[in-house]
Structure 1
């Protein structure tokens, strides 16, 4: 972890109203392009008591909290285990990146079991998630010209390509830039610029980056068509059993 993440986050875990099954660092730190003033995005899953799910009141399945600790802005978002697993089964690459993040703040046996089942959730349809995310970020870049959405555009396209080709969820842009054939050679320069400032103009040749983004969309399409990943998750029953068992254990 970077110095920004050299924080004692145990009090954060202890303060949560329900047990956390895991908490990891996501966002720019996970993607490999944090700025000096980047906030720390914590993501994870909590466990509601069974009574909260069988009564009349709607359970608080998603919790979000923002605060400042030791001068660093923190952002914690967690889902109840059932909702988190349902998101896993919906071709949601974002929650899989959170689950598999190597920047682990808190872990349990349930977390380790989810990680073990994650490969059986991956499908060729995850390409749709990354394709859609890239288009959203590209529209934001075209509107603002800022570096951050441009890096996100390249990051999700390369993550999708790598996933389709290898079956591995890899969200770290510097790693992807070095491993992916056809990754733009200027990405290390953009990553270095992002380290200096969280916001600001990308200062790039828009026609050039537009051509590269369009080309990578084509590469993602080809990678999806050639992928050996299955069409549907194979871990549904195992995940169902896990959710029931963990819930009853409390």
Structure 2
């Protein structure tokens, strides 16, 4: 899939080899504004000498700011840290591996994409329930209240429900809504794209979205209870072998 060509330049400047770099955030979720920044996420590989000695390399590399007119937030984790996150109930890292917005890939990335499905467990529901609750609290504190945070609430709830029912990681809200068909979502996206002056909510809006939030929370909890997904990840041994393989390539 085509992405902003200037992103490749910043990927090329990374101090360590990358297994992949993909786009997350609003672009991945399907509702970027013209001024949305680019959230780049990926995996870097520290050389052996920076993981076995007393002085170790950075597990996380971050870069943010405006470069050549491009607002960028780049975060990568070392392969060992990232693989460990894949084995926890962390939906973010699976979304990053599986993002269709790929700036840089590798054969190892393709293998990770295959293994990601075997890292999904029913307990990933807790990740999405927790994120939705935090986002809802933040949106409730805003004055005046805006529709933008609600898009993130809906996104994580629909992603979580869909994951529990199908085992598929889908982060794009518009694609998810082809199944869920929530009529309020196109309007919320249109408000976000129209700018801050069109994005505020009145009391009737807030009451409606409160009802929908409660309903979808209950739906995700029910999907979790009924899910046939595994209790624990099934790809630990393969990830361990892949970690050794990619590390030794840099010896």
Structure 1 residues without counterparts, runs of 5 or longer: none
Root mean square deviation of aligned Cα: 1.6
> Separation in 1 of the partners of 2:56 and 2:50?
8
> Separation in 2 of the partners of 1:160 and 1:10?
31
Match of 2:174 in 1: 174
CA spacing shift, 1:199–1:143, aligned 2, 3 Å: farther
Deviations 1:192-231 (A, max 9, x none): 1112226874425111100100000000011111111100
Structure 2 residues without counterparts, runs of 5 or longer: none
Deviations 1:117-167 (A, max 9, x none): 011100000000000000000001100122221110010000000000011
CA spacing shift, 1:200–1:192, aligned 2, 3 Å: closer
> Separation in 1 of the partners of 2:224 and 2:5?
39
> Separation in 2 of the partners of 1:99 and 1:200?
34
Tell me the CA shift for residue 69 of structure 1.
Answer: 3.3
> Separation in 1 of the partners of 2:160 and 2:211?
18
Q: Determine if contact 1:184/1:212 at 8 Å carries over to the other structure.
A: no
Say if 2:159 is the partner of 1:191: no
Where in structure 2 are the equivalents of 1:19-168 lying within 5 Å? Answer: 19-144=17-142, 145-168=145-168
Provide TM-score, normalisation by structure 1. Answer: 0.94
> Separation in 2 of the partners of 1:70 and 1:191?
28
Q: After alignment, is 222-231 or 22-31 more displaced?
A: 222-231
Where in structure 2 are the equivalents of 1:199-238 lying within 5 Å? Answer: 201-204=199-202, 205-238=205-238
Provide TM-score, normalisation by structure 2. Answer: 0.93
Deviations 1:161-190 (A, max 9, x none): 00000110001001111212xx53111110
